[in-house]
């Protein structure tokens, strides 16, 4: 599979502050790449460098096998993008906004605007000015604009920001269909891990400007550990019982009475019995698997609001 995005030691500094540090990212053709990180991790800065909106301090960017610096104008015509909240001329309708874009790009196909609006479900909004659109509608219109020229690569910076649960689900379905039906390579940045877990083939995790890890979702699933999850009345007492009475050391105590035991997976009944005998109430017990969120938190740490 060929490489669509390749960065080499990509770095961005603002004075003394390092926003992105020696980032080496690879996005392959046809895949959905989830670019994950906390707020302020460097996701949007990286995306802006990929699109030539921000100049890197150091490093190189290759798109479609060519250097961005030397071939920017030609390469950008193959990319559609949403960076942060999409902006529009709010005194115009969706169709008028897209027509302006189509003219600037030089699109001659007559139905290009209509097809783009149909793809995102905005074809019926003929008279409403964009200034009256909800955030979700603007996000969808942003995708319509990004698709107008039938790009090979779609870069979406937090496309589900501000959307309600139904909007998020619709956006997810749209992204998956774009990748499957049109074979578009998609780079999607997000801090909503559950959503990315549903659609990405590969993920890259960035933290404080550094790409900590890149891995396939299949490998992630094998790494994510199966465990028994207990909801108990007293996690400290439960931890003591696990160690002293059962000799179990592979466990994790979480907040709100949750304990995860990573061994003895088929001896749940014995563990439950010992906990109850030790006067620890067990409210819930289930066999489960770590999610991307757990992997992410283990990798980047927590403790602060980001």
Partner 1 sequence: MFFISLLGAVAAPFITFVSTLVKQHKFSDQTFLFKAFFTDVNFYILMLIGVPIYGVITTYLFNREYAERTLKNLLTIPVSKVNLVFSKLLLLLLWILTLTLVSFLTATIFGFIANLDDFSIAVWLRSLKEFITGGLLLFSLSTPIILVTLLIRNYVASIIVTIMITMVNVMIYGSEYSALYPWSAVEVITTGHFFKQYAAFLSYMSIFATSILCLILALFYFQRKDVQ
Q: For residues 53 and 287, which CB has a smaller minimum distance to partner 1 in the complex? A: 53
Q: For residues 130 and 203, which CB has a smaller minimum distance to partner 1 in the complex? A: 130
Report the distance separating Cα 38 and Cα 36, nearest Å: 7
> Where do runs of H (alpha helix) occur along 77-134?
94-105, 112-120
- Could you tell me if residue 179 is left (phi over 0), alpha (psi between -120 and 50 degrees) or otherwise beta? alpha
Q: For residues 149 and 260, which CB has a smaller minimum distance to partner 1 in the complex? A: 149
Q: Cβ atoms within 10 A of the Cβ of 206, count?
A: 25
Query: Minimum Å distance from CB 74 to partner 1?
Result: 9
State the residues that interact with partner 1 by CB under 8 A: 48, 51-55, 72-73, 76-77, 79, 81, 83-90, 101, 104-105, 145
Give the Å distances, CA to CA, from 288 to 264, 266, 267, 272: 13, 12, 14, 16
Q: For residues 59 and 278, which CB has a smaller minimum distance to partner 1 in the complex? A: 59
Query: Minimum Å distance from CB 87 to partner 1?
Result: 3
Strand order, beta sheet including 210-216: 79-82, 153-157, 185-190, 32-36, 202-207, 210-216
Query: Minimum Å distance from CB 54 to partner 1?
Result: 4
Report the distance separating Cα 110 and Cα 120, nearest Å: 18
Query: Minimum Å distance from CB 131 to partner 1?
Result: 10
- Residues 6+ away with beta carbon under 8 Å from 229: 258, 259, 260, 284, 285, 286, 287, 288
Report the distance separating Cα 181 and Cα 126, nearest Å: 27
Q: For residues 74 and 226, which CB has a smaller minimum distance to partner 1 in the complex? A: 74
Query: Minimum Å distance from CB 202 to partner 1?
Result: 24
Query: Minimum Å distance from CB 51 to partner 1?
Result: 5
Q: For residues 104 and 305, which CB has a smaller minimum distance to partner 1 in the complex? A: 104
Q: For residues 53 and 69, which CB has a smaller minimum distance to partner 1 in the complex? A: 53
Which DSSP letter does residue 302 get?
A: -
> Where do runs of H (alpha helix) occur along 201-234?
217-223
What number of CA atoms fall less than 13 Å from residue 281's CA on the CB side? 3
3-state DSSP percent of the chain in helix, strand and coil, to 5: 40, 30, 35
Query: Minimum Å distance from CB 211 to partner 1?
Result: 21
Query: Minimum Å distance from CB 182 to partner 1?
Result: 19
Q: For residues 84 and 118, which CB has a smaller minimum distance to partner 1 in the complex? A: 84
């Amino acid at each position: 599979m060929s490489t669509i995005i390749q960065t080499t030691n990509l770095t961005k500094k603002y004075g003394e502050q390092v926003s992105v540090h020696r980032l080496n990212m690879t996005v392959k053709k046809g895949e959905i790449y989830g670019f994950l990180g906390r707020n302020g991790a460097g996701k949007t800065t990286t995306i802006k460098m990929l699109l030539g909106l921000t100049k890197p301090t150091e490093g190189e960017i290759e798109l479609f096998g060519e250097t961005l610096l030397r071939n920017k104008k030609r390469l950008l015509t193959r990319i559609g993008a949403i960076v942060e909240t999409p902006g529009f001329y709010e005194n115009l309708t969706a169709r008028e906004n897209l027509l302006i874009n189509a003219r600037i790009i030089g699109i001659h196909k007559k139905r290009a605007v209509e097809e783009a609006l149909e793809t995102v479900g905005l074809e019926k909004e003929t008279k409403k000015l964009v200034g009256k659109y909800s955030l979700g509608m603007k996000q969808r219109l942003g995708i319509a604009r990004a698709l107008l020229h039938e790009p090979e690569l779609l870069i979406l910076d937090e496309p589900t920001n501000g959307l309600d649960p139904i909007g998020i689900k619709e956006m997810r379905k749209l992204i998956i269909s774009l990748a499957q039906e049109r074979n578009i390579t998609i780079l999607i940045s997000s801090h909503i891990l559950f959503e990315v877990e549903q659609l990405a083939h590969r993920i890259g995790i960035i933290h404080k400007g550094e790409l900590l890890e890149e891995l396939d979702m299949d490998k992630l699933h094998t790494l994510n550990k199966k465990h028994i999850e207990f909801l108990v009345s007293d996690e400290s007492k439960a931890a003591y019982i696990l160690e002293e009475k059962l000799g179990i050391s592979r466990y994790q105590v979480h907040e709100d009475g949750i304990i995860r035991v990573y061994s003895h997976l088929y001896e749940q009944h014995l563990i439950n019995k010992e906990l109850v005998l030790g006067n620890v109430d067990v409210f819930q017990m289930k066999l489960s698997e770590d999610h991307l969120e757990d992997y992410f938190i283990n990798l980047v740490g927590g403790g602060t609001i980001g």
